[in-house]
């Protein structure tokens, strides 16, 4: 016999139904925030088009625009006219006031740290890179590196640290972005590090942190191939395997903000040891340390033990290009495991596009035609076409752009939702 629902005596026992959506949830953003985001996404947009896109009256848009102009967030810009520019009044469009705010974005990785500074319209002002020693580092050393890098990139941009409104930081590993806590990362010796709080205390600026694969997806959403897509996946292959997923134009993170860890899905029971401490993870067969491990064993490279992973991988790639069957088989095996992971992404999420990103995309054997064909065979045959796959072999500056987008998004929401709090800072 089915259980009865709990009795609710509120309001005479009248129980509501349907989802209880909190105020200012993603689906109920204030109209002023929606208006600002439309202007930012368009670059330049006339008032009449903004009213149409928002589905409100021109009078409502006039009020919204006046409010955003008074706040110093957008401005009126003379826009080029189609046809004869010499007749009539010049056309006026709305654009973001680029100098209203500046943010920095950083990626902290196992190989180097990168940073960018962008203005409020998302335009790049400066970038910089500093190398780092391999292996995990204490929080104090990471903070030293962050401060040094921030000082350098600010100098390049001609800005003081105090001119910034926020900093986004991406790290590999398990990151609770809402709490600003890095539960585990290959870049840190400690676990459960409140990185946002300690970095904010050191730098004196608002700091926002996230998993670096999420930030690649955010970079594609803001600046790249995902701008016009509501749902797409980004799979990153570098020292680890990561995944970011955009759902309904927003980064999807899961209930505890720790989901989409494709690299730690299991592809082999009691399999190879992953750097997370478990066995059989996809990452343990596809990431750069996995390829280097296989090369050292299969090619009898014991004499190269201790060499940097990047050196081992370049040597492995050169052997494969030269026709070495063993080297090719190593890439082929890793590619087959990658095909398993990608087919699971297709079967679970049905994205409109899958983007393969990261420095290891230079190794085309990982995504050779036979690899992608195997992914097709492993995906469910529905009779409908599978999502296209694009290869974006961009460097770490793309990841830093994603961190800047994280900071821009957070700063924008704080300004538009809590303007008094921002004014008090």
User: pLDDT tens digit string along 311-362?
Assistant: 888 898 899 889 999 999 999 999 999 999 999 999 999 999 999 987 777 7
**What is the pTM assigned to this prediction?**
0.86
Mean residue pLDDT of the chain comes to 87
Residue 177 has pLDDT above 60, yes or no: yes
Give the three-state DSSP class for 305: coil
Q: Pick 225-394's CATH classification: 3.40.50.2300, 3.40.50.620, 3.30.1330.10, 3.30.420.40.
A: 3.30.420.40
Least confident of 145-149, 177-181, 221-225: 221-225
Instruction: Give dist(CA 45, CA 38) in Å, integer.
Output: 8
Q: What kind of architecture, by CATH, is found in domain 25-96?
A: Orthogonal Bundle (1.10)
* CATH superfamily ID and name for 101-217+398-424: ATPase, nucleotide binding domain (3.30.420.40)
412, 102 in Cβ contact below 8 A? no
Helix (H, G, I), strand (E, B) or coil at 158: coil
Average pLDDT over every residue of 400-415: 94
Domains 25-96 and 225-394 are alike in CATH topology:
no
Asked if 249 contacts 390 with a C-beta cutoff of 8 angstroms, the reply is no
- Which residue ranges make up each domain of the chain? 25-96, 101-217+398-424, 225-394
Cβ–Cβ under 8 Å, residues 28 and 417: no
């Amino acid at each position: 016999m089915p259980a009865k629902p709990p009795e609710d005596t509120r309001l005479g026992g009248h129980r509501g139904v349907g989802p209880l959506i909190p105020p200012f949830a993603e689906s109920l953003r204030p109209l002023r925030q929606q208006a600002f985001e439309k202007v930012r996404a368009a670059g330049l947009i006339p008032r009449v088009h903004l009213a149409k896109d928002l589905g409100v009256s021109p009078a409502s848009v006039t009020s919204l625009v006046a409010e955003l102009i008074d706040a110093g967030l957008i401005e009126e810009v003379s826009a080029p006219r189609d046809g004869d520019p010499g007749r009539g009044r010049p056309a006026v469009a709305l654009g973001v006031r680029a100098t209203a705010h500046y943010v920095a974005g950083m990626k902290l990785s196992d190989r180097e740290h990168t940073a960018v500074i962008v203005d409020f319209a998302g335009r790049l002002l400066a970038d910089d890179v500093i190398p780092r020693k391999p292996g995990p580092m204490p929080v104090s050393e990471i903070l030293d590196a962050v401060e040094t890098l921030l000082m350098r990139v600010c100098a390049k941009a001609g800005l003081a640290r105090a001119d910034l409104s926020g900093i986004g930081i991406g790290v590999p590993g398990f990151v609770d972005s809402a709490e600003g806590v890095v539960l585990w990362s290959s870049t840190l010796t400690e676990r459960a590090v409140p990185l946002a709080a300690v970095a904010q205390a050191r730098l004196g600026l608002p700091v926002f942190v996230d998993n670096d694969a999420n930030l690649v997806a955010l970079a594609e959403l803001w600046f790249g191939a995902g701008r016009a897509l509501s749902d797409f996946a980004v799979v990153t292959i570098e020292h680890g395997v990561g995944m970011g997923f955009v759902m309904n134009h927003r980064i999807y993170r899961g209930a505890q903000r720790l989901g989409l860890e494709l690299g730690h899905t299991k592809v082999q029971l009691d399999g190879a040891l992953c750097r997370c401490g478990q066995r059989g993870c996809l990452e343990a067969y596809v990431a750069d340390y996995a390829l280097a491990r296989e090369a050292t064993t299969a090619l009898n490279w014991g004499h190269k033990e201790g060499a940097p992973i990047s050196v081992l991988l370049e040597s492995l790639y050169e052997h494969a290009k030269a026709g070495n069957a063993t080297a090719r088989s190593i890439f082929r095996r890793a590619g087959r495991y990658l095909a398993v992971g990608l087919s699971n992404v297709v079967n679970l999420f049905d994205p409109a596009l899958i983007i393969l990103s990261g420095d290891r995309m230079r190794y085309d054997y990982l995504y050779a035609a036979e690899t992608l064909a195997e992914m097709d065979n492993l995906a469910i045959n529905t009779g409908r076409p599978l999502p296209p796959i694009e290869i974006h072999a961009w460097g770490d500056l793309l990841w830093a752009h994603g961190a800047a987008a994280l900071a821009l998004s957070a700063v924008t929401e704080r300004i538009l939702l809590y303007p008094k709090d921002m004014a008090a800072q």
